[in-house]
Amino acid sequence: MYPTLYMPVPATIERIEDETPDIKTFTIRPAEPIPFAAGQFVELAVPGIGEAPFTPSSSPQITDFMEITIMRTGRVTDYLHTMKVGDEVGVRGPMGRAYPMEAFQGREILVVGGGCGVGPLRSLLLEVIQDLKSYPRVIVRYGAKTPDSIVFRDAQTHGWGQDGAMDVMLTVDEASEGWDGHVGLITEILEEDYLDCHAEDGVAVMCGPPIMMTSGTEKLLARGYKPENIYLSMEKNMSCGIGQCGHCRMGVYYCCKDGPVFTYDEIQHDPRVWDD
Amino acid sequence: MKWTISGSSNLDETLALLAKDRQVYAPESLENGTYRMTRADTWQPGLHTLGEYRQTEPLKALFFPAREFIGRWGDTGDREPMPERIVFGVKNCDLSSLAIFDHVFLHGVDKDTYYAEARDKTILVSTDCSSPLDVCFCPAVGEQPHARQGFDINIAETPNGYVIESGSERGKELLESAGQLLEPASDDLLETLEQQRSSRYAELVEQGNTHGLSPGMDLRAAVEGAFESGLWADFAEDCVECGACNFICCTCHCFLLADGVDADGKAARTKVWDACLYSGFAAVAGGGNARPLRAERFRNRFDKKFSYFPQVMDRYACDGCGRCTEACIANIDIRDVLRRAVDVSDTLHARSSDHRAD
């Protein structure tokens, strides 16, 4: 038998949704179910082209298909963006450490996202929404470059905040006509004026581009979040996904098997942690 | 039980019997003074030897090939089973390195079944080093020029005869099957071997001393202590990032899964050695790179071997084989790097101690 750890399960693209000009959500149906937990990632392969790591953006409770939200930003993702419904891809996984949902129970959750980083966070939020009463409060703070580049715009502007289910606030770096929301960096809407939170015992979950992860973590620490309560989805060159190939090592950890979700206190003493 | 070859037999006859029905890998002596691993269907007297020192290519290549075909897209058929193999003349540096690969490919999140099959089907016959190379420095990394564990059979040559012992159940069974050619080793012979091993170890320690390295030095503390220093940039000035040190290394295990199309136009995947000295090694989509500078990549190699592995496996990922020193086109000697790290680390440590004293 060929070693399945290196070969993907075949999967079919069932649906492609344009989120922004350079981000699409692909609905993928694998030949066999690939159950995952929110925060875990998969290797999505394009036959003969290559594969890359992505964290599904769909609910972990759905196992017969998964959605993956992908920005066009490299060789594999450029190719993926040219693919059509019905095309064949492959999935290996799930891989790595998920968000510890049990540890989140009964606590206020602050979800901080930037750009395409909201993919994994949507998966988490879809899980949380199923059981909203277990969390005293769920707060979402999301930043995008422009109103056009807001991912899951309907959910973010309407769905998640509906009837006060969650406290959702968005910001854009640059406004365009018709935008009546906040304008400024994500760190601004983590300030006291825009974020009323219980930092001392709440958990914060963050996923976004490297610059946001760095400045966002600093801001959360300044607001009083404890390092062990700040959950970061780290991004490295996860290639094999199972701690063998060496590419995603960060100090004593492999991002693929020990992460991709780390608490800040696990990685704060490594001088290389923010290297991207 | 330790054995020797009986008076009515000889080494070739013994090895030929051990190798029966197995594919044979053994060192072949080349005119330029090096050895290479040569494959044959039987033990080949005159071609095969047990070797005085390690061959040029690392043993890892027999278990973790430089290019390994993984599979064709959608093809779930079985691969041809690997033949039963026996490797003669394995030196302790190479033998010890396999623990790194076992850790990575057998004892991690998931098991590489190809690697597992290769390990299962390969009998390892180790041999004491009789004449180490100038680049060898195994005592400095806690090793010695003879095997203590990890072998199926060890064969040590002394002026008074061979000492043969098993190190595994299957090695024991194999020796029993060749029992008619063997007889128990005498106490005198064993004593000769012990003295020979002690003096060879002492010689290698002495060789290490001339490069400022000695057994028991804390190389982890040295590399970690010098992490932020300019030492890496100094050496990286000369490095041409060819990756030879990675590929030739007996413990470097990094690889990439390369996707492509085979001759029939079918998508296929191959597992290929990769090198952390290459600029794209830690690059991610979108232009990010955890180690954009050559000095950072050069440092990473030492960080992985002398800091990461001590933390996860309680050992260095270096067995002192000296292949990287031989292979380096820029003449970078790993012993010089380690010695400089010890000095830089000691200096910085002394300075910070002075500072605290103030």
Q: Within this chain, do residues A136 and A202 fall inside the same structural domain, yes or no?
A: yes
State the pLDDT at residue A203: 97
Distance from CA of A104 to the nearest CA of B (A): 26
Q: Within this chain, do residues A69 and A121 fall inside the same structural domain, yes or no?
A: no
User: Under the phi-then-psi rule, with left for phi > 0, alpha for psi from -120 to 50, and beta for the rest, what region is A60?
Assistant: alpha
Q: Within this chain, do residues A197 and A117 fall inside the same structural domain, yes or no?
A: yes
Tell me which residue range forms the domain holding A167.
Answer: 101-233
Residue B262 exposed, middle or buried by CB count within 10 Å (0-12, 13-18, 19+): middle
Q: Within this chain, do residues A19 and A60 fall inside the same structural domain, yes or no?
A: yes
Q: Which residue of A has its CA nearest to B270?
A: A6
What is the spatial distance between Cα B127 and Cα B49, in angstroms, rounded to a whole number? Answer: 10
Task: Kindly list the distances between the CA atom of residue B209 and the CA atoms of A59, A80, B23, B86, B340, in Å, as whole numbers in the listed order.
Answer: 61, 57, 40, 36, 14
In a domain, A80, yes or no: yes
Q: Within this chain, do residues A18 and A60 fall inside the same structural domain, yes or no?
A: yes
In a domain, A137, yes or no: yes
Mean pLDDT of B187-205: 97
CB contact A62 to B (< 8 Å): no
**Residue ranges of domains in chain B:** 2-209, 219-357
Which of B73, B117, B266 should be substituted to probe chain A, the one whose Cβ sees the most A Cβ atoms within 10 Å?
Answer: B73
Largest CA distance in chain A: 59
Which of residues 221 through 240 in chain A touch B, CB cutoff 8 A?
235-237, 239-240
Q: What pTM does this model have? A: 0.94
Kindly give the pairing relationship between strand B255-261 and strand B182-184: unpaired
Count CB atoms within 10 A of the CB of residue A33: 13
Largest CA distance in chain B: 76
CB contact A32 to B (< 8 Å): no
In a domain, A240, yes or no: no
State the pLDDT at residue B356: 59
Report the candidate in B62, B106, B96, B132 with the shortest Cα–Cα distance to residue B317. B96
Contact partners, residue B127, CB within 8 Å, separation at least 6? B50, B51, B88, B89, B90, B91, B154, B155, B156, B157
CB contact A5 to B (< 8 Å): yes
Contact B70 A51 (CB under 8 A): no
Q: Within this chain, do residues A109 and A41 fall inside the same structural domain, yes or no?
A: no
In a domain, A126, yes or no: yes
Which of residues 217 through 236 in chain B touch A, CB cutoff 8 A?
227-228
Q: Within this chain, do residues A72 and A145 fall inside the same structural domain, yes or no?
A: no
Q: Within this chain, do residues A191 and A146 fall inside the same structural domain, yes or no?
A: yes
Q: Within this chain, do residues A105 and A195 fall inside the same structural domain, yes or no?
A: yes
How many domains does chain A contain in total? 2
What is the spatial distance between Cα A256 and Cα A239, in angstroms, rounded to a whole number? Answer: 8
State the pLDDT at residue A1: 45
**Mind listing the pLDDT tens digit for each residue in B293-319?**
999 999 999 999 999 999 999 999 999
What is the spatial distance between Cα B61 and Cα B63, in angstroms, rounded to a whole number? Answer: 5
Nearest to A247 among B282, B286, B312 (CB): B282
In a domain, A261, yes or no: no
What is the spatial distance between Cα A209 and Cα A23, in angstroms, rounded to a whole number? Answer: 14
**Mind listing the pLDDT tens digit for each residue in B35-57?**
999 999 999 999 999 999 999 99
User: Under the phi-then-psi rule, with left for phi > 0, alpha for psi from -120 to 50, and beta for the rest, what region is B105?
Assistant: alpha
pLDDT > 70: percent of chain B: 98
Q: Within this chain, do residues A168 and A203 fall inside the same structural domain, yes or no?
A: yes
In a domain, A1, yes or no: no
Averaged pLDDT, groups of 10, chain A, 276 residues long: 77 96 96 95 96 96 95 94 97 96 96 94 94 94 94 85 87 93 95 94 94 93 96 93 95 94 91 65
State the pLDDT at residue A159: 81
What is the spatial distance between Cα B28 and Cα B38, in angstroms, rounded to a whole number? Answer: 6
Q: Within this chain, do residues A143 and A203 fall inside the same structural domain, yes or no?
A: yes
What is the spatial distance between Cα A111 and Cα B300, in angstroms, rounded to a whole number? Answer: 34
Distance from CA of B348 to the nearest CA of A (A): 18
Q: Within this chain, do residues A105 and A79 fall inside the same structural domain, yes or no?
A: no
Q: How far apart are the first and last CA of chain A?
A: 37
Q: How far apart are the first and last CA of chain B?
A: 61
Residue B246 has pLDDT above 60, yes or no: yes
The answer to whether B115 and B64 are in contact (CB under 8 A) is: yes
Q: How many helices (H) and strands (E) does chain B have?
A: 12, 11
**E strand or H helix at A153:** helix A153-154
For position A124, which CATH number holds?
3.40.50.80
Report the candidate in A226, A229, A220, A272 with the shortest Cα–Cα distance to residue A251. A272
For position A45, which CATH number holds?
2.40.30.10
What is the spatial distance between Cα A61 and Cα B295, in angstroms, rounded to a whole number? Answer: 46
Last residue of a domain, one of A68, A95, A122: A95
Residue B355 has pLDDT above 90, yes or no: no
